[in-house]
Structure 1
Amino acid sequence: MAVALFCFLIAAGFALFGTWREVRGTNEHVADIVVRQLQLQLFRIQSNIELSARFPDWDPVTDRVQGAGQCVKYLATDGSVGRSSCVGFNSENGVPDWFGALGTRLLAGRTEIVRPISYRDKSYGTLVVTTETGAVLAAIWKDVSKLLGLTALLVVAICLLQYIAIGRALRPTQHILAGLDSLARGDLSYRLPSFRLVEFQRISQVFNALAASLDRTTRERTALAARLVDGQEQERQRLARELHDELAQNLSAMSALATSIKVTAEAKCPALAPEARRLSQVSQGIVKSLRTTLQTLRPPEIDDLGLAASLAVLARDQERLSEGKLKVALEIDGALEALPPTSASHVYRIVQEGLTNICKHAHAHNARVALGLGPDGRSPGGQRWLALTIEDDGSGVLDNDREAANGGLGLIGMRERAMALGGQLDVTRNGEHGFRLDAMIPFEPSIGPAQ
């Protein structure tokens, strides 16, 4: 824009200078013609061909030589105006005030041509030829108006060329922004192409190196988390087996023995009957507590009935533990039998931890657990995705004080399990109240149902 304005000012300056030179040249030409005609009249007078009273014979001299806006004056030797002739000009196309004021200051008195009238070394007066400033400005404005149109076209052309050039130069930014969006979505496989511009090429190299480093670090972290979580799950299973094989049998035997003592005491030693009954109750409570612990360590429904049935039992248990204060709605879309056993176990633990947090901290009346395949069913890499959503209508579990009190271990554990499966887990508020957990977990379909 500035370049176009500068070009317009330069062109306008040239038009002003050119028109001024043309007007002065015309005035000089008219002055020369009139002076020669007057000198011819003086020759004819001195040759007694004409009368001296007729000098200057004005109209024949000026009628055919004057142009629009031009004035020709004859000044006698005493400086008085002897004769004068002016021609008007068309002022219908007015000149803008600002241009007229500027042109008047620049052209005032600069078009005047003065010629002495002499014959045989005797002065007979002076000839002055001028052109009205308005006529000069009208001619200049006519040319400048054309330049304005050309300038407008030049501005449009320059803007168009700049738009094309800048758009072409900044075209790589589309790839860069797409790459940044992909990184923000967690797609670390995106790589930028090579660019011709050195700066963009450097950005591409740094971006690709950073993405590769993040991808490698994320894979290592995911593998480590998977090993840790799998080790934790295997330890749970080992503890469950040992407790079931050893402690559970001994406690069952002790409970049976306590029951036998109670029966014998009631029949033969009534004084010991209360203690015997108390012993029987304590032993039965220990057996019941052990069964609950075993179910927490390794729910038998996952092995026997599958993930869907295990989640249904889990939902009923949470409702029972809340003493009817919480209603859990379970929605399953799709056949979860395709999940590998390890994935099924991790999904169960995520749901279990989520419902436990709701019962302990959310003070909710309703909870919803939804599982199913994602909208496309498959990821770009060809894996299938399991979408998991847990939400409630309680007070939420994202308060800083509450999360600080709990150490955030529940959410951390759920995120670690999702990451161990190569997925992601996000926790947000569910409207004004409650919380919402969304997890996307990839998996390779198992050959048959999980056993």
Structure 2
Amino acid sequence: MRLVLQLVARLLLIVALCLGAATMWATFDAYRSVDHATAASAQRVAQALQGLYWHELLLRSSRMREHLLPVPEWRTLETVKLIAPGVCVEFQPATAFERPLCGQSQGIGRTPPRWFAAIVPTFLGSHAEVVRPVSPRATAAGTVVATPDEAASISLAWDYILNVIDVALLMAAAIALLASLAIAHTLAPARSIVTALQRMARGQYRTKLPRFRSMELAMIGRAVEALGSRLKEATEQRAALTRRLIEIRDDERRALARELHDEFGQNLSAILAFANTIETANAQQDHNGIAQDARMISQATHHLMASLRDALKRLRNPLPEELGLEASLVNLVDSWRSQSATQPTIQLDLKGDLTDISGPAATTAYRVAQECLTNALRHGAAREISLHVERCAGEDGALLIRVEDDGGGDAERVARSAGFGLTGIRERVTAAGGSLSILPARRGLSVAATIPLAA
């Protein structure tokens, strides 16, 4: 998942948690506000009845204080205005058949769902009645008892929660949207860093990044640029070292070819001459099979000399230095075709002007074609092999060598192979600044190498 989406998802989770916490707080506050409204109603009614009590005391001074009670006129519209909605107030001691005086409870709030009406009293408890004396100095004046209506209190709480949630949802949506835009804008420069890393993966190590305002992104950008510079230097040093090693190896091959030709070639020729002499001397009277043994020695010597010639062809100076790339590739294909009639069909496809290609590029191309043909012929069951060599257009063009066969094979296993032949051509192509790929073909494998001519 992209980092922007992860941060937005976490932001939405935080907003959801905050919204849930706000809902719980609103529920608790709305539910407990009924207790405050009940206490306030009791206090207001008690103060009103206290005023009525002392007024009656002054008008009827002949009555005993302990027998002075508020007259029934306290149940008036003015008193109802002092009672909060959903709260009922009664006077104690109450007269016979006296009902509590309640505030408006019909149509208060919105009808809550059943689960809300069942959960809230369970977790927050029920409301307690509030008792206030009419007069603190005259205990015989009676008390005011205020009791909240449970259904009305739950409806008020639900209506309060819905109002709070509406505002909270709008704020949460606005915060999530604005924060998402801010996060996306802040992380937008990360695409430049990713693009630079992708270019480095393709070999373009020295990549200039724009200046970032964020200190963290600026540090990452500087680290990426420094890494690219170090990779470029290391790659150049490795390529130079690889080229030097290839030169040393070619010198060793030429020296080994001379030693094999001078020592083994002369000795094998001497052995062949001795065998022929022995066979000729005993051709008339071969009582002990000496002529037959000499003939077998001659055959074995011929086989060794043929093997030696093949080895010398691979070890001596590559043909591109002598004949040019195009002629050497034609000679390479013709030599494989002439070895046996049972060999698979080899098709050579040359495109572009190859006459002026020489030096390390020509040698590398010839070695790649030689090794790939050898592997396809000796290690596969191919019936048809195609060698495609093309010079790409452009001032700083490149040379494309592709060898395909229909002998099957696992491209991934071959790419992971650590054989000397494949490792050698990979080193040569890398030293020349090119690239090598091994991919599955339609019925076999495809080995492609790109060699830049400018390098």
Whether these two folds match at TM > 0.5 is: yes
| Cα distance per residue 1:109-139 (max 9 Å; x no partner) | 4463433379x96836443233313323323
Q: Look up the match of 1:32.
A: 47
Structure 2 stretches lacking a partner, 5+ long: 1-13, 274-279, 285-290
Deviation of residue 443 (structure 1)?
Answer: 0.8
Residue 36 to residue 427, structure 1, CA distance change in 2 (3 Å): same
Residue 64 to residue 28, structure 1, CA distance change in 2 (3 Å): same
Q: Look up the match of 1:163.
A: 180
Q: Distance in 2 between matches of 1:242 and 1:395?
A: 39
Aligned length: 411
1:331 equivalent in alignment to 2:349: yes
1:419 equivalent in alignment to 2:430: yes
Q: Look up the match of 1:439.
A: 449
Q: Distance in 1 between matches of 2:372 and 2:178?
A: 59
Q: Percent identity?
A: 28
Match of 2:402 among 361, 365, 389: 389
Q: Distance in 2 between matches of 1:81 and 1:418?
A: 110
Tell me the secondary structure at the aligned position of residue 386 of structure 1. Answer: strand
Q: Distance in 2 between matches of 1:121 and 1:103?
A: 37
Counterpart amino acid of 1:183?
A: M
Q: Distance in 2 between matches of 1:122 and 1:281?
A: 141
Which structure 2 residues correspond to residues 26-175 of structure 1 after superposition, within 5 A? 26-34=41-49, 36-37=51-52, 55-57=71-73, 60=76, 64-65=80-81, 68-76=85-93, 82-86=98-102, 87-90=104-107, 93-97=110-114, 99-100=116-117, 101-102=119-120, 106=124, 108-110=126-128, 112-116=130-134, 123=140, 125-175=142-192
Q: Look up the match of 2:366.
A: 348
Counterpart amino acid of 2:362?
A: A
1:319 equivalent in alignment to 2:337: yes
| Higher normalized strand content (fraction of residues) | 1
CA contact 2:89–2:144 (8 Å) conserved in 1: yes
Q: Look up the match of 2:238.
A: 221
1:179 equivalent in alignment to 2:196: yes
CA contact 2:320–2:362 (8 Å) conserved in 1: no
Task: Tell me the C-alpha RMSD between the 2 structures.
Answer: 5.1
Q: Distance in 2 between matches of 1:388 and 1:345?
A: 12
Give the TM-score, by structure 1 length. Answer: 0.69
Tell me the secondary structure at the aligned position of residue 335 of structure 1. Answer: coil
CA contact 1:346–1:417 (8 Å) conserved in 2: yes
Structure 1 stretches lacking a partner, 5+ long: 259-264, 446-451
Deviation of residue 312 (structure 1)?
Answer: 3.3
Deviation of residue 300 (structure 1)?
Answer: 5.7
Match of 1:189 among 183, 186, 206: 206
Residue 338 to residue 146, structure 1, CA distance change in 2 (3 Å): farther
CA contact 1:394–1:435 (8 Å) conserved in 2: yes
CA contact 1:58–1:83 (8 Å) conserved in 2: no
Q: Distance in 2 between matches of 1:284 and 1:14?
A: 107
Q: Look up the match of 2:276.
A: none
CA contact 2:127–2:148 (8 Å) conserved in 1: no
